[in-house]
Structure 1
Amino acid sequence: MILVWIALVVGTLAMCIVAYLTWSIYREDPGTPEMREVARYIRNGAKTFLKRQYRTILLFVALLSLPIAIFFQSIEVVISFYLGAILSLTAAYIGMNIAVRANVRTARAATVSSAKAFTLAFRGGAVMGLSVVGLSLLGISILYLGYGYRDPSLLVGYGFGASLAALFAQLGGGIFTKAADIGADLVGKIEQNIPEDDIRNPAVIADQVGDNVGDCAGRGSDLFESISDDYVTALLVGFSLFTGVAGEMNIMMFPFALGAVGVLATIVGVFVVRGWKNVRPINSFNLGLFTAAGVAIAGSYFVSVWLLNDVRIFYCALSGIVASTAVGLVVQYYIGTSGKPVMQMEEASKRGVAMNLITGMAYALQSPVLPFLSIIGAVLFSYVITGGSIYGVVAANLGTDMAIGIIMAGDAFGPISDNAQGIEQMAGTSAKSSSALEVLDATGNTTKAYAKAFATASGTVSTVVLFATYSQVVGLWSAPLGQAFVFGILIGAVVPFLFASSTIAATAKGAFDMVNEVRRQFKANPRILEGSDKPDYDKCIDISTKTALRRMLLPTVVTLVSPLLVGLLLGPHALGGMLLGGTCTAALLASFFTFGGALWDNTKKSIEAKAFWLKGSPTHTAAVVGDTVGDPLKDVAGPSLNIFMKLTNMTALLIAPLLLSIPPIIELL
């Protein structure tokens, strides 16, 4: 048990580093009065949204706790459920709260040097990354020391609570940000031909708020869910292999030891990343990523050999680390502004909207291939090298998690740099800072896309382990697979399309209302466009908030109810088929949406950066339309599908005992 206490100490250390980084950010100059005014609008809008969103989530959590308590007859499962949800929301809140303060300080730092601005923005993102990995490790360690050591199945509630909170946070934040973003772009940039982040645009503050509640808070909850689910499944699988022999207790300690190594690797990587003169920001980020990966590899070897006396487990963890790092390189190729796809997209945009969309679609369909080959390779390698043991796949899964902290830091860096550029433009500062912030914004777009692609890759491996755990619980492979399993696969393949449709439709409805409101304000008060009067920013924030909170319920219900219905109607084997079909479809759709949307986004940014005189031209319009089409794909549907496939599997694992105790309503062979 000493290793669990060590994990607890390491998690606490991570939160101490968070406190230090927060202090160092607060020390920086918050900028001119004009900068502070814009930043205050963003900060107040983000806090207002999160307050209303968290109230809704906690109400839903409270309502679900009663049936969970009745079904499990266990207060421990309910406590785990509450803690998973609360820690997920806490990590997201801490990260977002610092992001809305680091943004204005980054804008100010850019007037001094681009290197200082990059370092400050990344340290702000690191608060989010360390909060995610630190609180997740703290939570699972506390629960294990409290009662999880007796029966790890009592910890399933922890993963379920984290998953539920993540889905709400990602859906709500994504719908909010993209409704505002699309509304601001369609009316402001295309109809009125005013620049992006123009203070005259009524939706511009809502757009900036959305960057924080979507990319920062939403993604933080997503990755918190990933790593928390992986701890739970690793303990469940380890417990199923534990026969009571004293030496085998180490198999239960392995997730805690590897988790502690991952947190320490993140801390080292965070402090390696800093701005350097004449060094591209993305190269500095890569240095931190590879440093963290190196520390993780060394630590994994030590833990595997010392704790389990099995170097094969190290190779499994290594395959997970390599696979997750490889995804980053693929992302940088497909959406990096100097890569071939973006260059070809620029040429396609010169030939109109249709060519921009067709070319982007082709690359988006191609993009999942290499990441998924790397994932399949890691899973297959781990399974074979351990002689067909599921624990090898568990080790690979935990290996993918070891980079979560540094990747989350890069993701949260994105909205900070994006906000900083917006604040700079709205406050009207120097051209020197504008150029530096454009580079940071493009870098942030790449690191955000990496985080989304990583979330898909890591989430897919996590789902494979969850599915394997469910299969083991219900004895899926111990009997011949019949019609129920086949029907389940077909149903599972369809559900992600229904889920994605509801998320995109929700974004479209919010954007529709936002477009109407922006048009109304411009028409009602022409002095807004002249710059004489300020728009009503709060009205646009309110529209996005109401749409997000109202429309995030349907996809959540689809996610929770679909496995319950299939399981009760057709039985546990049909549910196993549904999980398999749903995972395959959701993982590929998520990757397609994420890569495609990010590619369209960076194409627009590249055109604006290389040829600013093209703004307002047909080429630029084609790029803006492509970016607008990709927005709900990469920021709402894609990331939400990652959570969807994990939450459906976690729900199935939760209800498995019920399904085994009653016959299905419809009996199939």
Structure 2
Amino acid sequence: MDLLLLAPIGSAIALLFALYQARWVLKQDEGTEQMKSIAAAIREGANAYLKRQYTGVALFFAVMFVILLILAFNGYLTYFVPFAFVTGGFFSGLSGFIGMKIATYANARTTNAAKKSLNFGLRVAFSSGTVMGLTVVGLGLLDLSFWFYFLNWFYRGLEEAARIQNVTSAMLTFGMGASSMALFARVGGGIYTKAADVGADLVGKVEAGIPEDDPRNPAVIADNVGDNVGDVAGMGADLYESYVGSIVSTSALAVAAGLGIKGVTIPMTMAAVGVLASIVGTFFVRSGEKAEQKVLLNALRTGTNLSAILIAILSYFLVTRVLGFEHVGVYFAILSGLVAGVLIGFSTEYFTSDTYKPTQDLSSTSLTGPATVIIGGMSLGMLSTAVPIAIVSAAVLASFYLAGGATNFNQGLYGVAIAAVGMLSTLGITLATDAYGPVADNAGGIAEMSHQDKEVRQRTDALDSLGNTTAATGKGFAIGSAALTALALIAAYKDEIDLIVKKQSLDFKFDISLLNPPVLVGLFIGGMLPFLFSSMTMKAVGRAAQQIVVEVRRQFREIKGLMEGKTKPDYARCVDICTRAAQKEMILPALTAIIVPIVVGLLLGPNAVAGILAGATVTGFVLAIMMANAGGAWDNAKKYIEAGNHGGKGSDAHKAAVVGDTVGDPFKDTSGPSLNILIKLLSMVSVVFGAFILQNALLK
């Protein structure tokens, strides 16, 4: 049997199981009429936002399609590239859209399920997350399979090495489409959700002293909409591009590593094996009725760890059958990526969960005011970068040498790339645990707004607090895989340039020594880019949040009877403000990632571009971890106080922790998670525009 057939088969299985889970979720009772009404308002706001976002992004894709078509017409690219770019963006956006749709149908159902039991609430929310996780991997494998089989047929007249080189070179470009869509989705959704969240918290909880998700707060629906468009739709598009990017970059390095079609077979079939392991893992996510973090975390860990163990076992037989026992080192490279992913998850959990000392200590800093909370959170975030850096560094070295890098440099690079595939092979279930969080968060809001019993809110709060930890773990996982994928993409960029030079007999040689001035300049520019990007996205959140703060204050002041609960606020006004602000503010950060490598490449040449990619990967990785973990810790420190510690809700300590949480919001949900897309999109753009840069650079 041709093992590559497992890729389309795996795609079909993933999508069918996602459909089965979606149907199960939709069969559950949505609850009271009031709960249904609130869920419908959230759904309407999320649909309206995505419709407006996709309309704007479609214009960008149309312009890029024309640009790529012109480059193809002038011989810089093949004619497949513009179409691959569009399909990558389409499936990336579709992944996020499907995940968002099921999340907005699952939120009230999770609240209603929590009335019966904590375990039932967990099952409904997690099943919704499973739909997202398996949709992402299913659509990813579908896109990969289509392009591989089509291009393999088109280039059938070439000998194997040349054929695979042409196939993978064209496939790399749909990664650029996926990354572009993901960046717009993450940045736009992140600006929306955090503007609403910050505005709702600062005026509602701190100034007015009303509970979180109180129906009197005009920004509360916008906040719940934001959870879906940012943390679900944005995250789905993000991890779709991580997933396909790791597989495509590994496949592109297979020829240089001397592995040919067999080297392409491994990452494609690994993904299919990951689908089966993830599905098996979902059946083991169950909890008791103790609303404790340890109990709930163990329930999710059981599923994810079982999936990882299954992949560790099955991939051994896969590698030894396809490559033979002489390449068993590739299996250990996969294992190093898999172990690294699990360890990064544990590290993130330790620094962000209120079960452990770091977040508990951070909560105690609130006793002396907001300033010490912010200092403590920044310090914790910076400290938390050390362990993931050590883990990824060890994984890079291990995968490089285990795959045979000591004797064959290109095989070592292939090992690093396949380690990223190993890390992402459990994505089906890992993403399910991440996407579950926003559903639980919405469920808590619906419980508050529909005045459910105290026990129901306690259960949804426990699920929500767990969601904060799993979301932080998911972000750490995505960032870690981005670092490995980015390294593979840098190698793919070098191979692509070398291929163009060889084909066209150009007078150019790579010199990426630190003593080469263009490389050094590129390093500085690349190292600066994540900070510039973060500045733009955080400033955008700040500007949008200011508009929400002003609007919420106005409604509290001008709408008579609102604070007494006699009149409803104008929810739609806040939803509209967030939507308009997000659409406007997402454009500049996204375009920066595309324009900078092209402009620098044309001025300073391909060597400078390599410097940009290296610099952005290093600083982007560290900054993303710091932001994600600091933000997660601030959020859970607030939740720890709300559980009754240090004076509980409404205390001065609680108000200080809310300020820390609002600072952490754009850290963990806007800037931080967008950085892992930035570092990969820079590489993808460099690969796609490599020939154009090489032939038109002022400095070679």
Q: TM-score range by the shorter chain?
A: over 0.9
1:79-118 mapped onto 2 (5 Å cutoff): 79-118=83-122
Distance of 1:241 and 1:619 partners within structure 2 = 57
Alignment RMSD, CA only?
A: 1.5
- The answer for the alignment partner of 2:506 in structure 1 is none
Residue 589 of structure 2 is aligned to residue 574 of structure 1: no
SS in 1 for 2:562: helix
- The answer for the alignment partner of 1:125 in structure 2 is 129
Match of 1:443 among 466, 469, 472: 466
Deviation at 1:148, TM superposition (A): 4.7
Distance of 2:613 and 2:44 partners within structure 1 = 41
CA contact (8 A) 1:148 1:154 kept: no
SS in 2 for 1:272: coil
CA contact (8 A) 1:99 1:212 kept: yes
Gap runs ≥5 in structure 1 = none
Gap runs ≥5 in structure 2 = 156-165, 406-411, 499-508
Deviation at 1:251, TM superposition (A): 1.7
CA contact (8 A) 1:148 1:155 kept: no
The one-letter code matched in structure 1 to 2:29 is D
The one-letter code matched in structure 2 to 1:110 is A
Distance of 1:13 and 1:77 partners within structure 2 = 28
The one-letter code matched in structure 2 to 1:283 is N
Residue 264 of structure 2 is aligned to residue 252 of structure 1: yes
Deviation at 1:86, TM superposition (A): 0.7
The one-letter code matched in structure 2 to 1:450 is T
Residue 83 of structure 2 is aligned to residue 75 of structure 1: no
Distance of 2:621 and 2:97 partners within structure 1 = 27
SS in 2 for 1:391: helix
What percentage of aligned pairs have identical amino acids? 40
Distance of 1:298 and 1:385 partners within structure 2 = 18
- The answer for the alignment partner of 1:453 in structure 2 is 476
1:508-587 mapped onto 2 (5 Å cutoff): 508-587=542-621
1:378-397 mapped onto 2 (5 Å cutoff): 378-388=395-405, 389-397=412-420
Residue 345 of structure 2 is aligned to residue 328 of structure 1: yes
CA contact (8 A) 1:438 1:609 kept: no
Residue 245 of structure 2 is aligned to residue 229 of structure 1: yes
Distance of 2:125 and 2:402 partners within structure 1 = 42
- The answer for the alignment partner of 2:47 in structure 1 is 47
The one-letter code matched in structure 2 to 1:5 is L
Deviation at 1:75, TM superposition (A): 3.2
Residues 612 and 339 (structure 1 numbering): CA distance in 2 closer, same or farther, change over 3 Å? Answer: closer
Deviation at 1:526, TM superposition (A): 3.1
Distance of 1:92 and 1:614 partners within structure 2 = 36
- The answer for the alignment partner of 2:454 in structure 1 is 431
CA contact (8 A) 1:261 1:299 kept: yes
Distance of 2:400 and 2:634 partners within structure 1 = 37
Distance of 2:361 and 2:450 partners within structure 1 = 35
The one-letter code matched in structure 2 to 1:287 is T
- The answer for the alignment partner of 2:368 in structure 1 is 351
The one-letter code matched in structure 2 to 1:602 is N
Residue 197 of structure 2 is aligned to residue 181 of structure 1: yes
CA contact (8 A) 1:242 1:249 kept: no
Distance of 2:341 and 2:54 partners within structure 1 = 31
Distance of 1:271 and 1:477 partners within structure 2 = 51
Deviation at 1:236, TM superposition (A): 1.1
SS in 1 for 2:643: helix
Match of 2:315 among 300, 303, 319: 300
Distance of 2:387 and 2:61 partners within structure 1 = 38
Residue 208 of structure 2 is aligned to residue 192 of structure 1: yes
CA contact (8 A) 1:493 1:578 kept: yes
Distance of 1:237 and 1:404 partners within structure 2 = 22
- The answer for the alignment partner of 2:698 in structure 1 is 665
CA contact (8 A) 1:183 1:511 kept: yes
Match of 2:218 among 198, 202, 207: 202
- The answer for the alignment partner of 2:503 in structure 1 is none
Match of 1:643 among 654, 673, 677: 677
Deviation at 1:521, TM superposition (A): 1.0
Equivalent pairs counted in the alignment come to 662
Distance of 2:320 and 2:289 partners within structure 1 = 41
Distance of 1:355 and 1:238 partners within structure 2 = 51
Distance of 2:2 and 2:695 partners within structure 1 = 38
Distance of 1:148 and 1:417 partners within structure 2 = 44
CA contact (8 A) 2:192 2:581 kept: yes
Distance of 2:676 and 2:644 partners within structure 1 = 34
Distance of 1:494 and 1:453 partners within structure 2 = 21
Distance of 1:478 and 1:182 partners within structure 2 = 47
Match of 1:269 among 281, 284, 292: 281
Deviation at 1:666, TM superposition (A): 4.5
CA contact (8 A) 1:185 1:628 kept: yes
CA contact (8 A) 1:269 1:406 kept: yes
CA contact (8 A) 1:180 1:207 kept: yes
1:584-595 mapped onto 2 (5 Å cutoff): 584-595=618-629
Q: Answer with 483-492 or 542-551: which moved more.
A: 483-492
SS in 2 for 1:240: coil
CA contact (8 A) 2:417 2:487 kept: no
SS in 2 for 1:239: coil
1:5-24 mapped onto 2 (5 Å cutoff): 5-24=5-24
Residue 430 of structure 2 is aligned to residue 407 of structure 1: yes
SS in 1 for 2:378: helix
- The answer for the alignment partner of 2:379 in structure 1 is 362
SS in 1 for 2:635: helix
- The answer for the alignment partner of 1:377 in structure 2 is 394
Deviation at 1:101, TM superposition (A): 0.8
Deviation at 1:272, TM superposition (A): 1.6
